[in-house]
Structure 1
Amino acid sequence: MVQADAPGSEAPWSAPLAQALEQLPAERRRQLRSWQPAPEAGLRNCDRGEQPLLDLASNDYLGLACHPALIEAASRCMASEGVGAGASRLVSGNRPVHEQLEAALAQWLGRARVLLFPSGFQANLAAVQALADRRTLVLADRLIHHSLLVGVQASGARLQRFAHNNLTDLQRRLEHARRDAPQRRLLVISESLFSMEGTSPDLVALSALCQRHNAALLLDEAHALGVLGPGGRGLGHGVEGVSLISGTFGKAFGSGGAFLAGDALVGEWLLQHSGPFRYTTALAPPLAAAALAALEQIQQHPSRGAALLERAERWRHRLEAAGWSRPPGRGPILPLLVGSDLRALALQQQLEQAGLLSVAIRPPTVPEGQARLRLVLRHDLPNGSLEQLVCALGMP
């Protein structure tokens, strides 16, 4: 019988973990808190049983996560097909709802092929590995999501990071790469809406630059889909030269899971060669059904995204008028940069005491010295939310 280690003792392999935790400052420690949705865009802290807080933290941009149409679609699917798929898509986990969702997304986005994944992290791993290998040079925006960086590492490609949304820096690097190795495989990675910055690149110029230097372009549209671009189709929609799009259902779609959308060739390569697709249980059918219902909602109400962007502009103007630095970008993500971790945590607590939830974002999620409050607008925020926020924030 194997005995557990005595309290206070550490196995040799665990010593580096314990040391790393000891060195972690208190203001960098994360903790899990349990939340339950409440009416009027609220979240109730299950651990404390307090009054609900107005949700200015989640990525449920269109307020669809608790929409009756999504709940009904997921419930109906669960009643007929169960909860999980039970296997990968290539074994016995492929369901009609998966193919229905893929076909609907392909038509909506104007792409030849869409493949579903259980998570955005998996989708990004698969995307990078499809477009890059150990002979590839990847040029990535300095602020791309961690999952994309892990994908580059897994592909074995060489990585260069260009300054955030700086196409002059990217052009210089592309020109240098082509001079050094004219036939080298090049991949550029960016996002259409950066989740912690609220900023977007000039997609038309970015794509033209990639085409000029014969570089593939991988665009993560996770935070843009449903809100930005024509009919909420993302900023890459209709832009020639975007090789592959990564999208998720856990944000504006109010469900869970993810997808990749590209041409027929890349889609077939993913089906035949992608480990993240092949070796994972298929997306739960109820989540796929909910995502399909969300797509129908987005198509039926295309003005919701535009209205949310207009509201975001009003919030930016009001925050600037109150003395805060104007949050960059034009989407529903409004970061308030405050600098230090302690200041960000203090502001988070200040807002919670006023009935608002906005989480302090600290390194390594953001660069050192750039801690912030990440304010997120939702379609279903009640009237008066902006003034409540400005009052709670006070002077900067």
Structure 2
Amino acid sequence: MALLPEQRRRGLRSFEPGQAAAQLQVDGAPLLDLASNDYLGLSCHPAVVAAAQAAAALEGVGAGASRLVSGSRPGHQALERALATWLGRERVLLFPSGFQANLAAVLALADRHSLVLADRLIHHSLLTGVRASGARLQRFAHNDLNDLGRRLQLARQARPGQRLLVLSESLFSMQGTSPDVGTLAALCQGHGAALLLDEAHALGVLGPSGRGLGYGLNGAKDQGEIALLSGTFGKAFGSGGAFLAGDALVMEWLLQFSGPFRYTTALAPPLAAAALAALGQIQANPLGPALLQRARRWRGALEAAGWPRPPGLGPILPLLVGDDGLALELQQRLEAAGLLGVAIRPPTVPEGSARLRLVLRADLPLGSLERLLTALGSPPGQNLPCS
């Protein structure tokens, strides 16, 4: 601990709900929320809250056991069926957290005889799954499908019968970037590699009607195939928990053999009910297109003000500044102006790429962009990292 620099130390802060939408409070001071992943503002939507309250009153707060003991509820099955239909997948299984879902997914698709090729910026939960599986790991350059293709070809030539697994995300949470998922899936299919796609930050926002960038990639003619999709309810769905979606065979394998599924208490019934209600809201009123249009406007305005253009197209807008201290200074500058944006530093991001992570929400009030630009002021120098 003594060797940990002060600018790398983390701490826990307590945030309370504010008096208005997209607002939090710290020590009584209101802050406009430009940090959380509640992209559609559904965590406080009346229908979502009411569904959770009704489930808690009827079934209790917790499930009390794993799904394979006495923890399975009708609400779990209703949510799984609704998600499978919405995503065009044969089956869905719920998990209490995205970390558990990703761990289970990797263990289902790889073992110690496998080679896993993972995007260099993949989420820590997926890397933990690779380590637990015993598979060999190679990292390919971020969203660089040429690099991935070269590695897949070399792997097939070296060991033609080896099981290959590729790991990527449809929206990277700290970069705001996305791969060409269609090309990625086709590339994996062409080399006989299974693809695990983490859609945690894309669902509800990206893809047709918010179904994610992997929607429709089921191995049909002239399409690639995604072996497993992982998603969470703690982002655009405004709830908590996670799921895996895939074909009937791999999902049955998970049911029968997955430790992360078997040996954990089932998703709390109020969270499942809230997620199902949130899905209904997303289906009835897709907010993704308007949010993405707003994201384009914010990116253009930040670039016009002299900041590096935040990469990507989605609601995650990282301002890359490089230096840890500068990122913290920008966070403090925003808080002084009543805005919450969080400094992200290594090891969460690579060395020398500290950033202020800004997140758009569908319920941000008008004038939020102008408040942000005023609070940020002029860029501190001309040597900021390129996006």
What is the TM-score when the length of structure 2 is the normalising length?
A: 0.96
Amino acid at match of 2:7: E
- Residue equivalent to 1:89: 67
Give SS of 1:372's match.
strand
- Residue equivalent to 1:359: 342
Residue 251 (structure 1) aligned to one of 209, 227, 235: 235
Residue 304 (structure 2) aligned to one of 291, 306, 321: 321
Give SS of 2:357's match.
strand
Is 1:284 the counterpart of 2:268 in the alignment?
A: yes
Residue 13 (structure 2) aligned to one of 22, 33, 46: 33
Residue 215 (structure 2) aligned to one of 223, 228, 237: 237
Residue 293 (structure 2) aligned to one of 310, 313, 337: 310
Is 1:58 the counterpart of 2:36 in the alignment?
A: yes
4+ aligned runs moved over 6 Å, structure 1: none
Residue 156 (structure 1) aligned to one of 134, 159, 166: 134
Separation in 1 of the partners of 2:238 and 2:319? 25
Amino acid at match of 2:106: V
Residue 370 (structure 2) aligned to one of 370, 382, 387: 387
- Residue equivalent to 2:180: 202
Separation in 2 of the partners of 1:221 and 1:194? 9
Using the TM superposition, give the Cα deviation of residue 37 of structure 1 relative to its aligned residue in structure 2, in angstroms.
1.6
Give SS of 2:43's match.
coil
Separation in 1 of the partners of 2:329 and 2:214? 38
Give SS of 2:148's match.
helix
Residue 130 (structure 1) aligned to one of 95, 108, 121: 108
Separation in 2 of the partners of 1:185 and 1:193? 26
Using the TM superposition, give the Cα deviation of residue 256 of structure 1 relative to its aligned residue in structure 2, in angstroms.
0.1
Separation in 1 of the partners of 2:212 and 2:166? 18
Residue 274 (structure 1) aligned to one of 258, 268, 273: 258
Is 1:183 the counterpart of 2:161 in the alignment?
A: yes
Is 1:110 the counterpart of 2:88 in the alignment?
A: yes
Separation in 1 of the partners of 2:132 and 2:261? 15
Amino acid at match of 1:327: P
Using the TM superposition, give the Cα deviation of residue 236 of structure 1 relative to its aligned residue in structure 2, in angstroms.
0.4
Amino acid at match of 1:173: R
After superposition, give the CA deviation of every residue in 1:283-342 in whole Å (9 maximum; x if it has no partner): 00000000000000000002x111000000000010011011110100000000001110
Give SS of 2:111's match.
coil
- Residue equivalent to 1:336: 319
What is the TM-score when the length of structure 1 is the normalising length?
A: 0.93
Amino acid at match of 1:359: V
Separation in 2 of the partners of 1:215 and 1:144? 17
- Residue equivalent to 2:281: 297
After superposition, give the CA deviation of every residue in 1:25-71 in whole Å (9 maximum; x if it has no partner): 000000000001211311101xx222x10000000000000110011
Separation in 1 of the partners of 2:153 and 2:48? 48
Aligned length: 372
- Residue equivalent to 1:7: none
- Residue equivalent to 1:9: none
Structure 2 residue runs of 5 or longer lacking an equivalent are 218-223, 380-387
What percentage of aligned pairs have identical amino acids?
76
After superposition, give the CA deviation of every residue in 1:235-276 in whole Å (9 maximum; x if it has no partner): 000123111000000000000000000000010000000000
Separation in 1 of the partners of 2:365 and 2:17? 15
Structure 1 residue runs of 5 or longer lacking an equivalent are 1-20
Using the TM superposition, give the Cα deviation of residue 204 of structure 1 relative to its aligned residue in structure 2, in angstroms.
1.0
Separation in 2 of the partners of 1:173 and 1:71? 47
Amino acid at match of 1:358: G
- Residue equivalent to 2:248: 264
Separation in 1 of the partners of 2:39 and 2:16? 17
Separation in 2 of the partners of 1:36 and 1:249? 20
Separation in 2 of the partners of 1:375 and 1:192? 18
1:1-16 to 2 correspondences below 5 Å = none
Separation in 1 of the partners of 2:375 and 2:21? 19
Amino acid at match of 2:40: L
Separation in 1 of the partners of 2:119 and 2:185? 14
CA RMSD of aligned residues (A): 0.5
Give SS of 2:312's match.
coil
